């Protein structure tokens, strides 16, 4: 009787040991070769960077992708102009130089010579024209910045592009330089794969850019593998990566384990509590980088409804947020305070006095002036469930507002639901913690988005349903002039009005702390480029 069980147990044990004790590190058991076969190799491939990402890659079409996947696409595609490293300074990328007419409407770009696309064709002005036109014809995601921007695009010679704008736009170059700016695609690929959908199906799966890295393969639901483009115009002298793998690892705890074991080189999205423990006690071979972002988190306050119509009530609520408590005790100083609606790193960041600090007495006083001495009303806050910081804000505010006699109901939901509710005025929330970032490196990007009356609800990102004629006028005027001093003054005035009227309550600027292996070199975060990092400038060095 006992024998069969013993035999079975022995088999199971043997199998488990056989599976386990091979001791092979994931990256050295099987390596691909050109013909797709695998073979044993000794060590992990040098200069292969494995990045753990928490999102599934959404596709490769630069005319459509307008979310996290931009971070992957920026390695494969390039723009006419770009931002220098991690700054907001505009420098040429595929355009070597450019000039702007006096009336601010005509932009002439001289293209770099000898630039090759991944499909072997050369960069021409036709490719630029077709790429820009394709973006607005498809009219999806990033197209809103350019939908009505130009009257014509001319190509007087193969290396010159002339864009004539309908109206002068001081932010036009910044728009071209952003991660959602038009990325230039091979003219041949655009024509060959146009099909009946402007090549949307083809470009979703493939790519034809000029970037330093090209798509090697995309295992859906698993990883995107990019490899070095040998003919890259920037050349390959110096130290560079050979391959970049963006590996989909949804769980933060798994990302951390993989990082500690060296199976990934960068963990892209660890929550603050995990970062805190890594910072306090970094495991061997792991380092943390500290970078500012332009990602701000604020609370949109509905200005059109109930007691919140009165700006004194909005001011009272702004005094009733325990900013320091959140930053120090809840987020362990892993985020930065935010003063005013623009990120701290923005050149036009608010220079006036932002009065709001945690001061319940002051809040009570303002409520008294508004006729709500004992509070006595309730507010509803919509919270996106995928952002832990929003839940923190909601819980802390619920306690803070209780002291003023205001009952805060928290409605936590998936992002699709919260945005749909907030997008319509009749279903919008009274309060809503929200994350925002500029779509291009110009202060008008975010202010227009948050405060303009034409950006109400689903028309933009103005979930406060805020309308102020002076602010609207300034937002229109600010892009009609290229005089930076004048523009700066206008940006300051807009922010001063915001400080008085409180359509939004700034809470913090997100710091981007990334955990990575100490072998990773050349890393810096590009806050204005979707928080991507410059894989071309990076390399690995043995420690």
Partner 1 sequence: MVTILFVLTRMIPGDPARLAAGPKAGPEQVAQVRHDFGLDKPLPVQYVRYLSDLLRGDLGRSIQTRRPVASDVKLFFPATVELATAAVFLTVLLGIPLGVLAAVRVGRWTDHATRLLALLGTSVPVFWLGLALQLLFFSSLNWLPANGRLDTLARAPHVITGFYLIDTLITRQWNLWWDAFRHLILPALTLSLSSVAVLARITRSNVLEALGQDYIRTAKAKGLPERVVTFRHALRNALIPTLTVIGLQGGALLGGAFLVETIFDWPGIGQYAVTAITTLDYPAIIGTALISTLVFLATNLVIDLLYAAADPRVRY
The yes or no reply on residue 409 touching partner 1 (CB under 8 A) is no
Q: Which is nearer to partner 1, 321 or 383 (by Cβ)?
A: 383
Element at 315 (helix H, strand E): helix 311-319
Rule CB under 8 A: choose which of 142, 341, 433, 503 binds partner 1. Answer: 142
Task: Check if the beta carbon of residue 405 is closer than 8 Å to that of residue 411.
Answer: no
Q: Which stretch binds partner 1 (CB under 8 A): 39-47, 97-105, 387-395, 399-407?
A: 39-47
Tokens of 83: 């931002």
The yes or no reply on residue 36 touching partner 1 (CB under 8 A) is yes
CA distance 487 to 483: 6
Query: From the CB of 294, what's the least distance to partner 1, in Å?
Result: 13
- Positions in 58-77 near partner 1 (CB under 8 A): 58-59, 64-67
CA distance 412 to 249: 24
Task: Check if the beta carbon of residue 119 is closer than 8 Å to that of residue 189.
Answer: yes
Name the nearest CA neighbour of 186 among 97, 237, 124: 124
Residues 6+ apart with CB under 8 A from 394: 381, 383, 408, 410, 412, 433
Query: From the CB of 409, what's the least distance to partner 1, in Å?
Result: 17
Query: From the CB of 237, what's the least distance to partner 1, in Å?
Result: 26
CA distance 252 to 256: 6
Total of residues contacting partner 1 (CB under 8 A): 82
Q: Which is nearer to partner 1, 356 or 456 (by Cβ)?
A: 456
The yes or no reply on residue 439 touching partner 1 (CB under 8 A) is yes
Query: From the CB of 399, what's the least distance to partner 1, in Å?
Result: 28
The yes or no reply on residue 42 touching partner 1 (CB under 8 A) is no
Q: Which is nearer to partner 1, 89 or 197 (by Cβ)?
A: 197
Q: Which is nearer to partner 1, 32 or 120 (by Cβ)?
A: 32
- Positions in 292-311 near partner 1 (CB under 8 A): none
The yes or no reply on residue 27 touching partner 1 (CB under 8 A) is yes
The yes or no reply on residue 144 touching partner 1 (CB under 8 A) is yes
The yes or no reply on residue 56 touching partner 1 (CB under 8 A) is yes
The yes or no reply on residue 318 touching partner 1 (CB under 8 A) is no
- Positions in 100-139 near partner 1 (CB under 8 A): 138-139
Q: Position of tokens 């200069």?
A: 47
Rule CB under 8 A: choose which of 217, 309, 357, 374 binds partner 1. Answer: 217
Task: Check if the beta carbon of residue 310 is closer than 8 Å to that of residue 367.
Answer: no
224: phi then psi, degrees, rounded to nearest 5: -120, 125
- Positions in 146-205 near partner 1 (CB under 8 A): 147, 200-201, 204
The yes or no reply on residue 214 touching partner 1 (CB under 8 A) is no
Q: Position of tokens 């109901």?
A: 409
Q: Over the Cα atoms of the chain, what is R_g?
A: 26
CA distance 140 to 134: 10
Q: Which is nearer to partner 1, 1 or 542 (by Cβ)?
A: 1
Q: Which is nearer to partner 1, 258 or 408 (by Cβ)?
A: 258
Tokens of 91: 């420098």
DSSP string, 393-434: HHHHHHHHHHTTTEEEEEEEE-HHHHHHHHHSTTT--SEEEE
Q: Which is nearer to partner 1, 25 or 85 (by Cβ)?
A: 25
The yes or no reply on residue 38 touching partner 1 (CB under 8 A) is yes
Helix orientation angle between 469-477 and 443-451, rounded to the nearest 10 degrees: 150
Q: Which is nearer to partner 1, 93 or 421 (by Cβ)?
A: 421
Q: Which is nearer to partner 1, 20 or 230 (by Cβ)?
A: 20
Rule CB under 8 A: choose which of 104, 106, 121, 141 binds partner 1. Answer: 141
CA distance 276 to 388: 15
Name the nearest CA neighbour of 255 among 286, 280, 281, 226: 286
Name the nearest CA neighbour of 50 among 227, 285, 241, 263: 263
Query: From the CB of 220, what's the least distance to partner 1, in Å?
Result: 6
Instruction: Reduce the secondary structure of 447-496 to three states and give it as a string.
Output: HHHHHCHHHEHHHCCECCCCCCHHHHHHHHHCCCCCCHHHHHHHHHHHHH
Query: From the CB of 151, what's the least distance to partner 1, in Å?
Result: 19
The yes or no reply on residue 521 touching partner 1 (CB under 8 A) is no
Rule CB under 8 A: choose which of 404, 419, 528, 529 binds partner 1. Answer: 419
The long-range contacts involving 454-460, CB below 8 angstroms and separated by at least 24 positions, are 456/425, 457/422, 457/423, 457/424, 457/425, 457/428, 458/419, 458/420, 458/423, 458/424
Query: From the CB of 1, what's the least distance to partner 1, in Å?
Result: 5
Rule CB under 8 A: choose which of 223, 272, 303, 479 binds partner 1. Answer: 223
The yes or no reply on residue 489 touching partner 1 (CB under 8 A) is no
CA distance 129 to 122: 14
β-strands 48-53, 243-248 pairing: parallel
Q: Which is nearer to partner 1, 20 or 238 (by Cβ)?
A: 20
Query: From the CB of 147, what's the least distance to partner 1, in Å?
Result: 6
The yes or no reply on residue 497 touching partner 1 (CB under 8 A) is no
The yes or no reply on residue 332 touching partner 1 (CB under 8 A) is no
- Positions in 242-271 near partner 1 (CB under 8 A): 245, 247-251, 253-254, 257-258, 260-261, 263-264
The yes or no reply on residue 410 touching partner 1 (CB under 8 A) is no
């Amino acid at each position: 009787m006992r024998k069969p069980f013993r035999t079975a147990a022995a088999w199971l044990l043997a199998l488990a040991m056989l599976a386990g004790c091979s001791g092979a590190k994931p990256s050295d058991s099987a390596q691909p070769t050109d013909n797709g076969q695998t073979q044993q190799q000794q060590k992990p491939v040098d200069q292969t960077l494995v990045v753990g990402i928490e999102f599934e890659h959404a596709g490769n079409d630069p005319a459509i992708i307008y979310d996290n996947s931009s971070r992957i696409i920026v390695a494969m595609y390039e723009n006419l102009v770009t931002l220098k490293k991690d700054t907001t300074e505009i420098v040429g990328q595929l355009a070597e130089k450019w000039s702007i007419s006096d009336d601010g409407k005509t932009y002439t770009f001289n293209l770099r010579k000898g630039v090759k696309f991944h499909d072997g064709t050369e960069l021409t002005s036709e490719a630029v024209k077709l790429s820009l036109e394709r973006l607005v014809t498809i009219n999806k995601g990033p197209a809103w910045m350019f939908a009505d921007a130009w009257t014509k695009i001319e190509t007087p010679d193969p290396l010159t592009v002339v864009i004539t704008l309908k109206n002068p736009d001081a932010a036009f170059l910044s728009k071209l330089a952003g991660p959602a700016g038009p990325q230039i695609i091979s003219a041949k690929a655009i024509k060959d794969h146009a099909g009946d959908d402007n090549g949307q199906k083809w470009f979703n799966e493939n790519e034809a850019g000029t970037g330093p890295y090209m798509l090697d393969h995309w295992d859906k639901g698993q990883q995107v593998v990019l490899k070095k483009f040998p003919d890259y115009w920037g050349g390959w002298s110096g130290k560079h990566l050979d391959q970049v793998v963006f590996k989909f690892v949804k769980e933060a705890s798994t990302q951390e384990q993989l990082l500690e074991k060296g199976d990934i080189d960068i963990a892209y999205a660890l929550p603050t509590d995990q970062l805190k423990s890594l910072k306090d006690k970094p495991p061997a071979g792991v380092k943390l980088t500290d970078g500012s972002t332009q990602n701000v988190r604020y609370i949109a306050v509905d200005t059109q409804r109930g007691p919140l119509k009165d700006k004194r009530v909005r001011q009272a609520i702004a005094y009733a947020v325990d900013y320091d408590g959140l930053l120090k005790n809840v987020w362990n100083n892993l985020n930065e305070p935010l003063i005013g609606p623009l990120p701290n790193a923005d050149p036009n960041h608010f220079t006036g006095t932002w009065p709001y600090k945690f001061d319940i007495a002051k809040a009570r006083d303002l409520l008294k002036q508004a006729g709500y001495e004992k509070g006595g009303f309730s507010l509803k806050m919509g919270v996106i469930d995928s952002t832990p910081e929003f839940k923190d804000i909601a819980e802390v505010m619920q306690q803070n507002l209780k002291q003023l006699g205001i009952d805060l109901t928290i409605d936590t939901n998936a992002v699709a639901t919260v945005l749909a509710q907030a997008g319509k005025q009749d279903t919008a929330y009274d309060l809503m913690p929200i994350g925002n970032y500029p779509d291009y490196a110009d202060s008008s990007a975010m202010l227009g988005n948050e405060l303009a009356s034409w950006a109400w609800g689903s028309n933009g990102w103005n979930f406060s349903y805020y309308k102020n004629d002076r602010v609207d006028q300034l937002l229109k005027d600010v892009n009609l002039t290229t005089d930076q001093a004048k523009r700066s003054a206008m940006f300051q005035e807009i922010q001063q009005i915001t400080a008085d009227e409180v359509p939004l309550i700034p809470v913090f600027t997100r710091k981007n702390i990334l955990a990575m292996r100490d072998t990773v070199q050349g890393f810096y975060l590009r806050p204005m480029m979707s928080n991507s990092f410059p894989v071309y400038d990076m390399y690995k060095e043995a420690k």
